[in-house]
Amino acid sequence: MIERSPIFDFITYATMILGLVLVLVPFWVTIVAGSQSLQEVSQVPLNLWPSGHLLENIQTAWARADLGPKMINSLIVAVGVTTGKIVLAALSAFAIVFFNFKARMLCFWLIFITLMLPLEVRIVPTYSIAANALLPFQTLLDTFGITSLLEMMSGVRVTLEWNLLNSYTGLILPLVATATGTFLYRQFFMTIPDELVEASKMDGSGPIRFFFEVLLPLSRTNMLALATIMFVSSWNQYLWPLLITTDRANFGTVVMQLKALIPAQNGTPDWNVTMAGALIIMLPPLLVVALMQRWFVRGLISRDK
């Protein structure tokens, strides 16, 4: 369509540039302040041009917040959640979409309802499970009298205990236990034509072969999208790691360390170190999003429609 509207084109560019400034200001300030010396960063008004101290500030922040091991922890959690979610989601969506069994819709809703309540909203109850993740099963055994039965028969009292505090499983599992991935996969699997299933049936392949040789190759784009979304959201988790790790030195994640980097009320206002630290902490997910943009946007959209 050819249409000339020079004034409106100008307004378009002006607004987009304004938006660009708006979006970039926090990033720019972080980079600028992170690269200045203590003296420069304390200047009022701040000089909005980077200086040359970025590397030493990063080193100071790295040492102060002990970012080395924390980065590794964050990476373990993010990769763990991402892989766990992709595998579990693919399996459960496969069962829900391609199998015909009675409790199919019940299972779907059991999983789907978890989409409604984000972890932050049910944080108190979820935390209660952290001390012993096997408590539900213990309670089941107790209420049905199996515990006492076993005790009578063997003389051993069954106590199931699995403490999740200060462990990678504790950091990872509750984040895997939501339906985002399952839902995304379900939406995608439903677009697979029946003919494909029939054809592979006719060729004599069973469900497992169909899953590995037809479905998985087809859902590569979906997997990338889900991986991006999950990596970003698990790297950025704050409240859950904060609660589940009392042993911060060994199991803390980088995002938890942000608070430790903020200058104390009456201490040296060395915001340059804070900002250098914030910069490296926000960088990994930003890089992932920037690189995977094309795929992950598609995934995000199809997830919620």
Q: Which is nearer to another protein, 138 or 158 (CB)?
A: 138
Q: Which of 81, 71, 77, 79 is nearest to 254 (CA)?
A: 71
Return all residues near 210 (Cβ < 8 A) that are at least 6 apart: 98, 197, 200, 201
Q: Return the residue of 38, 75, 197, 224 that touches another protein, per CB under 8 A.
A: 197
Q: In the complex with another protein, which residue's Cβ is closer, 27 or 168?
A: 27
Cα–Cα distance between 148 and 156 in angstroms, integer? 9
Q: Does 167 bind another protein (CB under 8 A)?
A: no
Please give the residues from 225 up to 254 whose contact with another protein meets the rule CB under 8 A: 232, 235-236, 238-239, 242-243
Task: Decide: is 97 part of the binding site for another protein (CB under 8 A).
Answer: yes
- Residue 33's φ and ψ, nearest 5 degrees, are -65, -35
Could you say whether residue 121 binds another protein (CB under 8 A)? Answer: yes
Site for another protein in 253-292 (CB under 8 A): 255, 258-259, 261-262, 269, 271, 274-275, 278, 281-282, 285-286, 288-290
* Alpha-carbon separation of residue 151 from 134, 176, 280 (angstroms): 19, 35, 55
For residue 35, the minimal CB distance to another protein (Å) is: 14
Distance of alpha carbon 193 from alpha carbon 98, whole angstroms = 11
207 CB burial (10 A radius; 0-12, 13-18, 19+)? middle
188 lies in the binding site for another protein (CB under 8 A): no
- In this chain, which of 188, 210, 251, 295 binds another protein, going by CB under 8 A? 210
Tell which positions 37-76 bind another protein, by CB under 8 A: 41-47
129 part of the interface to another protein, by CB under 8 A = yes
Rank residues 124 and 156 by Cβ distance to another protein and give the closer one.
Answer: 124
Helix (H) or strand (E) holding 262: none
Assess contact for 71 and 256: CB atoms under 8 A.
Answer: no
Q: Which two tokens stand for residue 99?
A: 């199998």
Rounded to whole angstroms, the Cα distance separating 60 from 44 reads 23
Stretch that binds another protein, among 61-69, 147-155, 172-180, 244-252 (CB under 8 A): 172-180
Answer for which of 96, 141, 226, 276 binds another protein (CB under 8 A) is 96
Which of 72, 131, 149, 190 is in the footprint of another protein by CB under 8 A? 190
Taking CB under 8 A as the binding criterion, the range among 59-67, 133-141, 149-157, 244-252 that sits at the site for another protein is 133-141
Smaller CB separation from another protein, 107 or 158:
107
CB of 242 to another protein, least distance (A): 8
Least separation, in Å, of the C-beta of 17 and another protein? 8
| CB 250, min distance to another protein, A | 20
Site membership for another protein, residue 141 (CB under 8 A): no
Among the listed residues 179, 1, 193, 196, the one whose alpha carbon sits nearest the alpha carbon of residue 93: 179
Crossing angle (nearest 10°) for helices 220-235 and 180-189: 170
Rounded Cα distance, 70 and 280, in Å: 12
